[in-house]
A = this chain, B = another copy of it.
Amino acid sequence: MTEEPAGGDLSRLRQLNAVAVLRELRGDQPLTLTELSKRTGLSRASTEDVARDLLGRGWLTEVAPASGSVGRPARRYRFNAGAGRLLGVDVGGHKVLALVTDLDGEVISQTRLEIDPEAGRRARLAALDRCVSKALTKASARGWAGTSARSGDGQIWATGVATTGLVDGTGKVMLSDSLPEWSGVDLAAHVRRLVPGPVRVENDCKLAALAETWRGVARYASDVVFLLAGLRTGAGLIIDGKLHRGFANWSGEIGALPAAGWQQAPQHLHRWLDQTPHPEGFERVFVAARAGDEGALAAVHDYVRDLAVGASALVLTLDPQLVVIGGGFSRSADVMVEPLRRELDRWCLRTPEIRVSAFADEGVALGAVRLALDEVESTITTGLRP
């Protein structure tokens, strides 16, 4: 990295130097100026200059010097994850869930609003507005431990939004067959009116898969089939450590194929319940199955049998290291995993390890936070925020 401006744009150069310093400080360890200078290749003077600037902006914090050092201990710096906040929102069928986190993705506040699954576009967007507004109020009322208050702290730097259905590259819902009047909603544009900073929108199953590789049970796996098992069935794919989106962002949609069995799968549970779908209603089937009710057990088995056909198609296609079960039904994984394993054994050449998500129905919102964090990190890597 050039340090001497050749009669050029000094501020741009300082910006590039700042990016280099920030990149090094995104790791876990605080670093001294000497270490930073060595890692970035900047001179000691330039490093000090940049550090002073970033401290002034609140992006760095000074941490206590390492104990036991000889002579005057050197100051150490680390990235200030409290400098800004991230917002992750899951707009689902029955709920809107918003998470506000720091720049490391640590959750500061969580806000949940139940909504009627039959709600139309306007009512759903209004619920989204209320939920985001509540989340922001709650988060700004809450301080961070270990971070000095400072003007500008707590501003949302980036937002990730998860929704069911197919989402295009601009954040518009192309097609949703489960939410009424939802196809065509320009969700990114709508949320941009609510919060500052960039907004990215992505399909909920993809984001739940992302959450599992980020902080969940798939952290060290490079190829993962994630199954969202709930009122709807969906899939998200991690290939070679990365979220696989596909050419038009429409990957993981095996459920659209009738032969995959996912369209009729939840009907077996409905039949036992003999009522309209509702999360607690479904919970009842699993509770009854767990208690040994034969009808409920049969319903769960029929559900799993159909779920397993599509799941086997994914497994046979990709030969993943891991299958992760998430979504609302994953709370009842104890009655689902063994029958699922048996069905996969029946169809697959090699049944991968099956793990159950620890996030239940919060994984989608956490994946939306990860999407927001991706946005911030790409900004830090390519240049500072204006």
Contact = CB atoms under 8 A, between A and B. Distances in A.
A66 interface: no
A302 to B, nearest CB: 16
Interface string A329-354: 00000000000000000011110100
Nearest to A224: B247
A183 interface: no
B352 A237 contact: no
Interface stretch (A103-111, A137-145, A252-260): A252-260
A209 to B, nearest CB: 13
A313 interface: yes
B259 A318 contact: no
Contact of A347 (B235, B247, B257): B257
Nearest to A249: B319
A246 interface: yes
A313 B259 contact: yes
Contact of A259 (B175, B259, B349): B259
Interface in A197-231: 223
Interface in A93-149: none
Interface string A249-283: 11111111111110000000000000000000000
A251 B319 contact: yes
A239 interface: yes
The number of times this chain is found in the oligomer is: 2
Nearest to A260: B313
Contacts of A252: 316-317
A176 interface: no
A355 interface: no
A321 interface: yes
Contacts of A70: none
A173 interface: no
A235 B347 CA distance: 17
A122 to B, nearest CB: 27
A290 interface: no
A3 interface: no
A66 to B, nearest CB: 33
Contact of A253 (B175, B239, B247, B316): B316
30 contacts: A166-B349, A235-B317, A237-B317, A237-B318, A239-B239, A240-B240, A244-B318, A245-B319, A246-B318, A247-B319, A247-B320, A247-B352, A250-B349, A250-B350, A251-B317, A251-B318, A252-B316, A253-B316, A254-B313, A254-B317, A256-B316, A256-B347, A256-B348, A256-B349, A257-B309, A259-B261, A259-B309, A313-B313, A317-B317, A317-B318
Given A255-B316, A259-B309, A317-B318, 14 more contacts: A237-B317, A240-B244, A246-B318, A247-B352, A249-B319, A251-B318, A254-B313, A257-B312, A257-B313, A257-B316, A257-B347, A259-B261, A259-B313, A313-B313
Interface of A: 166, 175, 223, 235, 237, 239-240, 242, 244-261, 309, 312-314, 316-321, 347-350, 352
Sorted nearest first, the 5 A-B pairs with minimum C-beta distance are: A246-B319, A251-B319, A247-B321, A250-B319, A259-B259
